[in-house]
Amino acid sequence: MKKGHQVTMKEIAKKLGVSVSTISRALKDSPELHPETKRKIVEMAKEMNYQPNLLAQSLRISRSKTLGVIVPEITSHFFASCISGIQDHANSRGYNVIICQSNESLDQEKANIRTLVSSQVDGLLISLSRETNRFEHLYDLYDREINFVLFDRVQEDIPVSKVTFNDAGGAYQVVQHLLENGSRKIVYVSGPEDLYISKKRKEGYLKALKEFGVDEDQSLIKITDLTESGNIQVAKDILKLNPRPDAVFCMIDPVAVDVLTEWKAQGIRIPEDIALAGFTNNPTAAVVEPPLTTVSQPGYEMGKLAATHLLDQLDGIASEDPISIVLETTLVARKSSQHFEVKK
Amino acid sequence: MKKGHQVTMKEIAKKLGVSVSTISRALKDSPELHPETKRKIVEMAKEMNYQPNLLAQSLRISRSKTLGVIVPEITSHFFASCISGIQDHANSRGYNVIICQSNESLDQEKANIRTLVSSQVDGLLISLSRETNRFEHLYDLYDREINFVLFDRVQEDIPVSKVTFNDAGGAYQVVQHLLENGSRKIVYVSGPEDLYISKKRKEGYLKALKEFGVDEDQSLIKITDLTESGNIQVAKDILKLNPRPDAVFCMIDPVAVDVLTEWKAQGIRIPEDIALAGFTNNPTAAVVEPPLTTVSQPGYEMGKLAATHLLDQLDGIASEDPISIVLETTLVARKSSQHFEVKK
DNA sequence: TTCGTAACTGCAGACGATTGCATTTTTGAG
DNA sequence: CTCAAAAATGCAATCGTCTGCAGTTACGAA
């Protein structure tokens, strides 16, 4: 198999004995061309299976009609959904999408940005890696006037558009739910503390406690590095608390699933002995036993909105002033949180 | 935010009062340049934050250093893993990756191919959609001498390289496992019959039965359209069989999970009343109750191998003759298949 | 001082598509 | 049959980068 040679306008021109400009005009259906010439050219182009070289077009108009996307990891169902939303919307507006993963690494994130910018993407959609606690690379994009939109894992201070969930609100919903079910001693299992979502969900957790008149207790806030072993360690630590807490709210579903698995192995009954809730509504949440109470975050919608806004900016439809779009989440109450009801 | 203007060689040249060619040579560290000139240019380039325009480079050398990937859907964990493997390997070799989803639609698949070819990707990695039962678009690529590799969902007759799992072997493993556990009346739940993996896994199923001297029984082969309602319908149909089968082997995990959920809702005990097994080893398989016996398919490996082979072809390292790479699968025996042991 | 050679740098054309302007061809009127 | 206007087509430059070749310096030797 040789390097596939694409048919160019030049070749059509030679075959038909006309100039390249004429080919170009014919294929754009220009009115200043003789209809017969046009017909012949279009026919020949089809016959030769001509397809325009997008690279050349992009170079000429300095717009690649391509968006760059950077997510921490594609294999996460949530980010895959976001990508799907971005794709579908971008394609419907004639844009291509180049996807990169940062693998939760700041260096990789920077490298991705370099590559995408070099590739002349018209704009970027970025969800920050876990490691990203410095933001020069983003300010650099900003200074260079390259359009980008942050989504889900954002940095709040940068004056660019952002699409986020009401993470605090979602956490509030789920903790409120646990409180309403009678729990008072509620653990919050957080990810790394400088992570945007860790902070926001903690806010919601604390707010709910406060409104129900429950005092904040630092010993009930556990931190995991989000690895499986880290999660299991936290699961064990929680069982050592005395008195044992009524309920545990994990920052993301995978943590809750690991905790659940560990506890089941130890013979702890959920929700009878302790209630459990997660966040994100991963596919796994619905199928574990007992089904996991969680908060639903429509990733597809988020991706679609982020893409819409970026493209609106690029196409000059949206104002260039940055905006912040906040999506609401929905509590998905399942069996894992029915602590006191079951007791009765 | 304006359209980000990228620094070009021309601007560096103007600033330094030299020609563009000199800039180009300096940045390529050409030996025929005065070291001092070179130093100044490199310094200035860094200061001005110069980044080469990949579009222009690609146009010039007629190679975009970009691969196109088409998968049925990104949100499937398996395909996401493949993509991840493709990405990592392609990046390590200096290639970008453009990802498209066909959403299981033939038309979308064709459209994706058109776009990617127009975008001048150097090669394609394709996993076919469910709907793809005609293959003109692939033969067309072949005729145009455009490099592509098929993976997982392949078409066997096209003379291009393919990477697949030993699907028949995997199915054989799992059915053998069920047979060894004492099951004899084993249902195979298949997806649409013209799907590559439906056929291959059926082969393995039948082979295992034959080797254990179990007669093939058409009434034990059920077909689902892979929608949730389709899967549930099959779950119900199986319960109507008289006598009730010992075990059920579902072509892919999501089907098995739907069946499991439906049966649990009906009070059927698994594996006590009936054993169950899936295929793919999705994350959900490990966390359902009972944990699902399945067959592990390393998607990341598959993606990596497919990318490696394609790039080897492109770089002239691999022979241009198509090859077929077959990856082995691993049986993951979990509780859902411990039918007779538990009975004892 | 002059010349040869090496060291350095610039020119121009190419990649493929597009477009303002110039040029050629056609058409019809006088 | 001529000529002007209109219609059809071609020329050339552009986007940013690269490179073969030609041109320009500098330097040492004679």
With CA atoms as reference, the chain A residue closest to B259 would be A287
The residue-averaged pLDDT of B97-109 equals 93
Whole-number pLDDT of residue A210: 96
* Statement: the CB of B20 is under 7 Å from strand D: yes
* Closest-approach nucleotide to residue B120, Cα vs C1': C16
Contact B53 A83 (CB under 8 A): no
Question: With the C-alpha atoms ordered A155, A161, A165, A168, is the resulting torsion angle positive or negative?
Answer: positive
Other CB atoms closer than 10 Å to residue B191's CB: what's the count? 22
Directed axis angle between helix B35-47 and helix B20-27, to 10°? 90
| Mean pLDDT score, A5-21 | 91
CB-strand contact B24/D, under 7 Å: yes
Q: Could you report the per-residue pLDDT of B197-239, keeping only the tens digit for each?
A: 999 999 999 999 999 999 999 999 999 999 999 999 999 999 9
Chain B neighbors of A257, CB-CB under 8 A: 287
Residue B260 to residue B262: CA distance in whole angstroms: 5
Tell me, letter by letter, the H, E, C secondary structure of A26-39.
Answer: HHCCCCCCCHHHHH
Q: Quick one: pLDDT at residue B1?
A: 41
pLDDT at B75 > cutoff 80? yes
User: Residue A1 above 50 pLDDT?
Assistant: no
Q: What is the per-residue pLDDT across A62-79, written as a single tens digit (0 to 9) for each?
A: 999 999 999 999 999 999
Using alpha carbons, select from A171, A233, A222 the residue that is nearest to residue A196: A171
What gap in Å lies between CA A235 and CA A262, rounded to an integer? 7
**CA dist A282 to A294, A334, B7, B17, Å?**
9, 13, 43, 58
Percentage of residues in chain B having pLDDT higher than 70: 97
Residues of A in contact with B11 (CB under 8 A): none
Smallest Cα distance from A144 to chain B, Å: 6
C19 closest protein residue (CA to C1'): A21
A22 touches strand D (CB under 7 A): yes
With 90 as the cut, is the pLDDT of residue B320 above it? no
pLDDT of residue B72: 96
Q: Which nucleotides of C are covered by protein (CB under 7 A)?
A: 7-12, 14-20
- The pLDDT of residue A330 is 96
Q: What is the reported pLDDT for A316?
A: 85
pLDDT the model gives residue B341: 53
User: Please, are residues B196 and B155 in contact by the beta-carbon 8 Å criterion?
Assistant: yes
CB B337 within 8 A of CB B181: yes
**CB distance A54–B119 less than 8 Å?**
yes
CB under 8 A, 24+ apart: contacts of B109-112: B109/B70, B109/B137, B110/B137, B112/B68, B112/B70
Which residue bears the tokens 């954002």?
A154
Percent of chain A with pLDDT over 70: 97
What average pLDDT score do residues B159-179 get? 96
pLDDT at A30: 84
Task: Give residue A207's pLDDT.
Answer: 96
C-alpha closest to that of A335 among A295, A275, A252: A275
Residue A308: pLDDT over 70: yes
| Distance of alpha carbon A310 from alpha carbon A67, whole angstroms | 9
Least confident of A84-88, A286-290, B148-152: A286-290
Q: Is the predicted pLDDT of residue B343 greater than 80, yes or no? A: no
Residue A342 above 80 pLDDT?
Answer: no
> CA geometry: angle at B141 spanning B138 and B144, to 5°?
150
CA distance A206 to chain B (A): 30
| Residues of chain B neighbouring A287 (CB-CB closer than 8 A) | 257, 261, 284, 287-288
Contact residues on chain A for B80, CB-CB shorter than 8 A? 74-75, 80
Q: Which pLDDT band holds residue A35 (cuts at 50, 70, 90)? A: confident
Instruction: Report the pLDDT value the prediction gives residue B2, as an integer from 0 to 100.
Output: 47
Report the residue of B75, B103, B121, B334 to disrupt the A interface, i.e. the one with the largest count of A CBs within 10 Å. B75
Q: For nucleic chain C, which protein residues have CB less than 7 Å from any of its atoms?
A: A 6, 8-10, 20-21, 24-25, 27-28, 50, 52-53, 56-57, 59-60; B 17-22, 25, 32-35, 37-38, 56, 59-60, 62
Cα torsion at A105, A109, A114, A117 (round to 10°)?
160
Give the residue with greater pLDDT, B3 vs A196: A196
Q: Is residue B6 scored above 80 in pLDDT?
A: yes
The predicted model scores a pTM of 0.90
Distances from the Cα of A224 to the Cα of A149, A235, A327, B206, B229, angstroms: 29, 10, 26, 47, 38
Q: Which two tokens stand for residue A110?
A: 């920077």
Of A178-182, B27-31, B165-169, least confident by mean pLDDT is B27-31
The distance of A57 to chain B (nearest Cα, Å) reads 10
pLDDT, tens only, B20-62: 999 999 998 888 888 888 899 999 999 999 999 999 999 999 9
What six digits make up the tokens of A156? 């709040």
**pLDDT for residue B342:** 43
Average pLDDT (B144-150) is 94
Contact B75 A84 (CB under 8 A): yes
B56 touches strand D (CB under 7 A): yes
Q: d(Cα A31, Cα A25) in Å, to the nearest integer?
A: 8
pLDDT tier at B3, thresholds 50, 70, 90 = low
Mean pLDDT of B81-100: 94
Most B CBs within 10 A among A117, A119, A149, A320, hence the mutation to make, goes to A119
Looking at every residue in chain B, the average pLDDT score rounds to 92
Chain B closest-CA separation from residue A321 CA (Å): 8
Chain A, nearest residue to B72 by Cα: A84
State chain A's mean pLDDT as an integer: 92
Signed CA dihedral, A169, A173, A175, A179: sign only: positive
pLDDT in tens, B267-310: 999 999 999 999 999 999 999 989 999 999 999 999 999 999 99
Residue A200 Cα, gap to closest chain B Cα (Å): 26
Q: Kindly report, residue by residue over A244-292, the tens digit of the pLDDT.
A: 999 999 999 999 999 999 999 999 999 999 999 999 999 999 999 899 9
Measured between alpha carbons, how far is B334 from B332 in angstroms, rounded to an integer? 6
